[in-house]
Amino acid sequence: MKLYLPLLLTLGLMTANAFAQQQVFKGATLYDGNGGEPIANSVVVVEQGTISCVGTDCAIPESAEIIDVSGKFLTPGLVDSHVHYAASGWFDTRRIFPMLREVYDLDKAQDYLRQNSAELDRSYLCSGVTAVFDTGSFPWTIALEETSVGSVEKPRFVASGQLITHDTHPAGKDVLRYQKYENTREFLPMGSDEEALGSVAAIAASGSSAVKVWFTPPAPQQADELRDRLSVIGNAAHRNKLLFIVHVETLKDAKVAIRAGADVLVHGVDSTLVDDEFIKLVTENNVVYQTTMTVLLDGVTILDLMNGDAPHFDDPNYCISPRTRQLVRDGYEKLHGPFSQNFGPAQRQALILSTGANIFRAQHNLKRLLEEGGTIAAATDAGNPQYYHGPSIYGEMELIQAAGVPAREVIVMATKNGAKAMGLEGTLGTVEVGKNADLVVLAEDPGKDVAAFRSITHVMRFGKLHSIADLSYASEKAVD
Residues that bind Zn ion (CB under 5 A): 381
Q: Which CB atom, from 121 or from 381, has the smaller least distance to Zn ion?
A: 381
Residue 66: which residues within 8 A CB-CB, separation 6 or more?
23, 24, 26, 60
Q: Which CB atom, from 170 or from 198, has the smaller least distance to Zn ion?
A: 170
Q: Which CB atom, from 26 or from 84, has the smaller least distance to Zn ion?
A: 84
Residue 311 Cβ vs Zn ion, minimum distance, rounded to whole Å: 20
Q: Which CB atom, from 109 or from 265, has the smaller least distance to Zn ion?
A: 265
Q: Which residue has the CB atom at the shortest distance from Zn ion? A: 381
Residue 381 Cβ vs Zn ion, minimum distance, rounded to whole Å: 4
Residue 380 Cβ vs Zn ion, minimum distance, rounded to whole Å: 9
> In this structure, are residues 425 and 418 in contact, taking their beta carbons and an 8 Å threshold?
no
β-bridge mates for residue 210, sequence order: 243
Within 117-187, residue ranges assigned H as helices are: 117-126, 143-148, 175-178
Q: Which CB atom, from 270 or from 381, has the smaller least distance to Zn ion?
A: 381
Within 3-155, residue ranges assigned H as helices are: 5-10, 12-17, 106-115, 117-126, 143-148
Q: Which CB atom, from 145 or from 186, has the smaller least distance to Zn ion?
A: 186
Residue 210 Cβ vs Zn ion, minimum distance, rounded to whole Å: 13
In terms of C-beta distances under 8 Å and separation of at least 24 residues, what long-range contacts does 92-101 make, across chains too?
92/327, 92/331, 93/383, 94/385, 95/178, 95/179, 95/186, 96/170, 96/171, 96/175, 97/170, 97/171, 98/171, 98/172, 98/174, 98/178, 99/171, 99/339, 101/178
Q: Which CB atom, from 186 or from 381, has the smaller least distance to Zn ion?
A: 381
Residue 82 Cβ vs Zn ion, minimum distance, rounded to whole Å: 6
> In this structure, are residues 281 and 256 in contact, taking their beta carbons and an 8 Å threshold?
no
Residue 256: in which H helix or E strand, if any?
helix 251-259
- 468 by DSSP, 3-state: which? helix
Query: Rounded CA gap, 338 and 271, in Å?
Result: 32
- Candidates 237, 320, 153; CA nearest to 245 is 237
Residue 115: which residues within 8 A CB-CB, separation 6 or more?
none
Residue 421 Cβ vs Zn ion, minimum distance, rounded to whole Å: 13
Query: Rounded CA gap, 466 and 422, in Å?
Result: 24
Query: Rounded CA gap, 379 and 83, in Å?
Result: 8
Q: Which CB atom, from 381 or from 396, has the smaller least distance to Zn ion?
A: 381
Residue 451 Cβ vs Zn ion, minimum distance, rounded to whole Å: 25
- 380 by DSSP, 3-state: which? coil
Relative orientation angle of helices 298-306 and 345-371, to the nearest 10 degrees: 160
Q: Which CB atom, from 132 or from 287, has the smaller least distance to Zn ion?
A: 132
Residue 78 Cβ vs Zn ion, minimum distance, rounded to whole Å: 18
Q: Which CB atom, from 215 or from 462, has the smaller least distance to Zn ion?
A: 215
Residue 128 Cβ vs Zn ion, minimum distance, rounded to whole Å: 21
- Candidates 323, 313, 385, 393; CA nearest to 127 is 393
Q: Which CB atom, from 38 or from 268, has the smaller least distance to Zn ion?
A: 268
Residue 135 Cβ vs Zn ion, minimum distance, rounded to whole Å: 5
Residue 282 Cβ vs Zn ion, minimum distance, rounded to whole Å: 20
> In this structure, are residues 469 and 100 in contact, taking their beta carbons and an 8 Å threshold?
no
C-beta atoms surrounding 287 within 10 Å: 21
Query: Rounded CA gap, 337 and 335, in Å?
Result: 6
> In this structure, are residues 332 and 385 in contact, taking their beta carbons and an 8 Å threshold?
no
